[in-house]
Amino acid sequence: MAAASRHSPESTGALIVGAGSGVRFGGAKAFVAWRGEPLIWWAARPFARAGDIGQVVLVVRREDLEEARSLLGRLGCPGQALEGGATRSESVRRGLAALPPSVNRVLVHDAARPNLSAALLRRILGEPGPAVVPCLQLHDAMHRLEPDGLSSTVDRRGVVRVQTPQAFDRNLLEQAHAGGEDAADDAALVERLGIPVRFVPGEEENLKVTTPEDIRRLERFHAGMLVGHGYDIHRLAAGRRLVLCGVEIPSERGALGHSDADAATHALMDAILGAAGLPDIGHLFPPEDESYRDARSVGLLADVVARIGGLGLQVAQADLTVVLENPRVGPYREAMRQTLADVLQLPTERVSVKATTAEGLGAVGGGEAIEAWALATLRWLPR
Ligand code: MG
C-alpha cells in the first residue's frame, strides 16, 4: 500500500460533478451505462473504496437525483446527492456548500472519468500542498487553427494536459470560487489567485469520456482475456469424507489430503492462479502449515478470488471435469455449480461442472483415486 493519506476520513470530502448536459456526447454523460453501471458510479467508486474519504457528494441534474441517491446506496459510502448548477463551477460551489464543517480537504472529480485507479487517487491524497492536480505530458506537436484557414505552431514546452481528481484545501477552493467565476476546472480558478498548483503524474487511462468513441477506448483498456489450466489428483481411502466443489457427497471412500481434499476446487484454484500468473496453491497454502488442516477448500478459493481482485482481475468463466469411478456425481452437479458460482461471484451458467468415469482404467478406474481438471478464464476489472 502506498503512503497513507495524512488526512482523516472526517476531514476529506469528494465532489463528483456530473450535472452537464453532454452536448458533445449527445446526452447526459454521467448516467451513460458502461459495464452495467452509469459512468458516475464508476467515477465515485474509487473514493467510496479508498477508506479515508468521509463524504462523497454527487452533483447531478435534477432529473438524475433519485438515481444518484440509489447508486450512493449501492456504493455503500456516506454521502449525498445534490442538484448542480448551470455551469461546472456553479455545481462545484453547490457541492462545496453542502460539505460538513469537519471537511477541510476537498477532491473534485469529473463524473465522466470512470477509470481512475486507486494508485492515482493515493498519489494525489499523499501529496502535500494546498492544490494538487494530476497532469500528462504532451507528445504530439500542437498547432492553432486560425479562422482564415492558416495555422500556427504552438510551443508545447511547459504545456501539460490536466485531469481530475484535483485536491484542494477547502479554504483555498472556497476562496477561488468566491467570485462566482466559471472555468474549465478548479485549478484554473486557484491559479487566478496566484497560488502555485502542485502537479503529479496523471494516467492516460483516466480519460474523460467526451464522445461515444471514448466508451470504445475505455473498453480497449480492459480488453483481453487470460486463460489458466489446473489439474489435481487425490487418493481415495475409507473413513474420509468426499467433498467436491464444496459439496459433501455420500461415499464409502473419500479423498485423502491435508485440507478437505476437494480435488475439483484445487484444480480450479490452480487454473485461476495460473491465468493470473501467481504461484500455485501448494505455495500459497502450504500443506505443512497447520492452519490449513481440514480447511474448507472453497474458503481458500474465496481467498484466491480476492487475490486476483487485488491485481484487477475477476473470473469470467470456469469449466471443470471430475473423473471418479463411483459414486455418481450427477445428482450433486447443480449444487456444486451453485457453490462455485457464489464464491466466484458469477451467474451459474458461467460455471460448468462435468463428471465422467475412467471406464475402469488405471488408478482412477480402479477406484483408488479421484482426478479433476479445470479451465478458468479471467477478465480485467474496470479500475
Ligand atoms: Mg489437491
Which pLDDT value is given to residue 382?
Answer: 66
pLDDT tens readout for residues 83-136: 999 999 999 999 999 999 999 999 999 999 999 998 999 999 999 999 999 999
**Cα 306 to averaged position of ligand 1 atoms, centre (Å):** 20
Q: Cα-flanking dihedrals φ and ψ of residue 282, to 5°?
A: -60, -30
**Cα 357 to averaged position of ligand 1 atoms, centre (Å):** 19
**Cα 328 to averaged position of ligand 1 atoms, centre (Å):** 20
Has residue 153 got a pLDDT over 80? yes
**Cα 264 to averaged position of ligand 1 atoms, centre (Å):** 8
Quickly state the pLDDT bin for 7 (edges 50, 70, 90).
low
**Cα 234 to averaged position of ligand 1 atoms, centre (Å):** 6
Portion of the chain with pLDDT greater than 70, in percent = 96
Give which of 70, 101, 69 is closest to 82, Cα–Cα: 69
Has residue 4 got a pLDDT over 50? no
**Cα 301 to averaged position of ligand 1 atoms, centre (Å):** 12
**Cα 261 to averaged position of ligand 1 atoms, centre (Å):** 6
* 3-state SS, one letter per residue, for the chain: CCCCCCCCHHHEEEEEEECCCCCCCCCCCCCCEECCEEHHHHHHHHHHHHCCCCEEEEEECHHHHHHHHHHHHHHCCCEEEEECCCCHHHHHHHHHHHCCCCCCEEEEEECCCCCCCHHHHHHHHHCCCCEEEEEEECCCCEEEECCCCCEEEECCCCCEEECCCEEEEHHHHHHHHCCCCCCCCHHHHHHHCCCCCEEEECCCCCCCCCCHHHHHHHHHHCCCEEEEEEEEEEEEEECCCCEECCEECCCCEEECCCCCCCHHHHHHHHHHHHHHCCCCHHHHCCCCCHHHCCCCHHHHHHHHHHHHHHCCEEEEEEEEEEECCCCCCHHHHHHHHHHHHHHHCCCHHHEEEEEECCCCCHHHHCCCEEEEEEEEEEEECCC
**Cα 336 to averaged position of ligand 1 atoms, centre (Å):** 17
**322 or 21, higher pLDDT:** 322
pLDDT tens readout for residues 333-372: 999 999 999 999 999 999 999 999 999 999 999 999 999 9
Which amino acid is residue 112, in one-letter code? A
Dist. CA 193–CA 162, nearest whole Å: 18
Give which of 302, 307, 222 is closest to 273, Cα–Cα: 307
Q: Cα-flanking dihedrals φ and ψ of residue 139, to 5°?
A: -115, -25
Dist. CA 321–CA 371, nearest whole Å: 8
**Cα 312 to averaged position of ligand 1 atoms, centre (Å):** 26
pLDDT tens readout for residues 289-335: 888 888 899 999 999 999 998 777 899 999 999 999 999 999 999 99
Has residue 143 got a pLDDT over 80? yes
Dist. CA 40–CA 71, nearest whole Å: 9
Contact 89, 20 (CB under 8 A): no
**Cα 86 to averaged position of ligand 1 atoms, centre (Å):** 62
**Cα 113 to averaged position of ligand 1 atoms, centre (Å):** 44
Rounded mean pLDDT of 261-266?
A: 97
**Cα 235 to averaged position of ligand 1 atoms, centre (Å):** 10
**Residues contacting 106, CB < 8 A, separation 6+:** 12, 13, 14, 15, 96, 99, 167, 168, 169, 170, 173
* Sign of the torsion formed by the C-alpha atoms of 202, 203, 209 and 212: positive
Residue 165 cell numbers, joined: 481528481
**Cα 121 to averaged position of ligand 1 atoms, centre (Å):** 40
Portion of the chain with pLDDT greater than 90, in percent = 73
**Cα 214 to averaged position of ligand 1 atoms, centre (Å):** 45
Which pLDDT value is given to residue 175?
Answer: 97
**Cα 292 to averaged position of ligand 1 atoms, centre (Å):** 12
Residue 3 cell numbers, joined: 503512503
Contact 114, 39 (CB under 8 A): yes
